Structure formats: structure tokens, C-alpha cells
Amino acid sequence: MKTWWLPFVHAMNGIRQAVKEERHMKVHFLIGLIVLLVAFYLPLTSTERAILCLTVGVVLSAEMFNTAFERTVDLVTQEWHPLAKAAKDIASGAVLVLALTSIAIALCIFVPYLVQ
Ligand SMILES: Nc1ncnc2c1ncn2[C@@H]1O[C@H](COP(=O)(O)OP(=O)(O)OP(=O)(O)O)[C@@H](O)[C@H]1O
């Protein structure tokens, strides 16, 4: 019989696997942890903390979507193919866009507190 918590277990396995097997995911995870620790150490407003939490979550999710894309492409072909390259490069580009946006957001929030 299927239990209601089984999808949650599968999702947790997915997170564990991505962190364990993906070098970039480890880096994003570590940076996200540092950002959250600093966010709760500095006297930020609740809104600023919420924005930083959202930013960290969005980047981690994007990296996991990128990993899922890469695995799917590898499942379809192990051969070099221009479409496989485009799919992987575009997915990586999406993560880069979000990572740069997150850096901009973090600077906007942290810099005023750090220069005081
Ligand atoms: N089947 C393929 N055909 C053509 N190019 C490919 C193929 N597989 C990978 N590539 C190229 O190699 C790059 C790295 O792909 P790989 O699957 O090794 O991901 P990765 O090293 O985990 O990348 P990322 O840094 O984006 O997480 C891709 O962005 C793409 O440019």
C-alpha cells in the first residue's frame, strides 16, 4: 500500500543525492548556509531575511533542476550532440543567471549593514 509520506521520502532522497553527487550543489549549499547564518546574525529586518531565504532556496532548486536536466540528457544520449550541448548549456546558464542575481540581492541587503 502506498503511504502518504512516500513522495516526501523520494524528494528527500533526491536532495541527498544531488548534494552528494554534484560538486556545484555542494558549493551552492555551503554558500547558502553561510548567507543564512550571516542573515540571522546581522540585525536585518524580517523582510530582508525572508528575501535571502527565498534567494537561497531558488538557487538550490535551480541547481537541482539543472542536475535533473543533465541526467535526462545523459539518459537520452551518451554521444556528442549539438542539442544535448544546447540543453545542458542553457540549463547551466539559467543557474548562472540566478546565482548572479542572488549575489546582487545579497550585496544590496548586506552592504548597508557592513558599512555602518
Ligand atoms: N552529450 C553531449 N553532447 C554535447 N555536449 C555535451 C554533452 N554532454 C555534455 N556536454 C557539454 O559538456 C558540458 C558539461 O556537461 P556535464 O554533463 O559534464 O555536466 P557538468 O560538468 O556537471 O556541468 P555543469 O557545470 O553545468 O553542472 C555541458 O555544459 C555541455 O557543454
What ipTM was estimated for this complex? 0.91
Which class is domain 23-114?
A: mainly alpha
Indicate the top mutation candidate among 64, 71, 88, 95 to test ligand 1's pocket, ranked by most ligand atoms within 8 A of CB: 88
Query: pLDDT tens-digit profile of 71-81?
Result: 999 999 999 99
Distance CA 26, CA 9 (A): 21
Q: What is the pLDDT of residue 2?
A: 74
**Mean local confidence (pLDDT), 80-97:** 98
Predicted confidence (pLDDT) per residue in 16-44, tens digit: 999 999 999 999 999 999 999 999 999 99
| 88 Cβ below 6 A of ligand 1 | yes
Q: Is the pLDDT of residue 10 over 80?
A: yes
Q: What pLDDT score was predicted for residue 116?
A: 77
State the virtual CA torsion across 68, 88, 93, 109 in degrees, nearest 10. 20
Q: What residue type is assigned to position 48 of the chain?
A: E
Indicate if 63 belongs to the active site. Answer: yes
Q: What is the pLDDT of residue 1?
A: 60
Question: What is the distance in A from the centroid of ligand 1 to the CA of 92?
Answer: 9
Distance 87 CA to ligand 1 centre (A): 9
pLDDT, tens only, 105-115? 999 999 999 88
Domain residue extents for the chain? 23-114
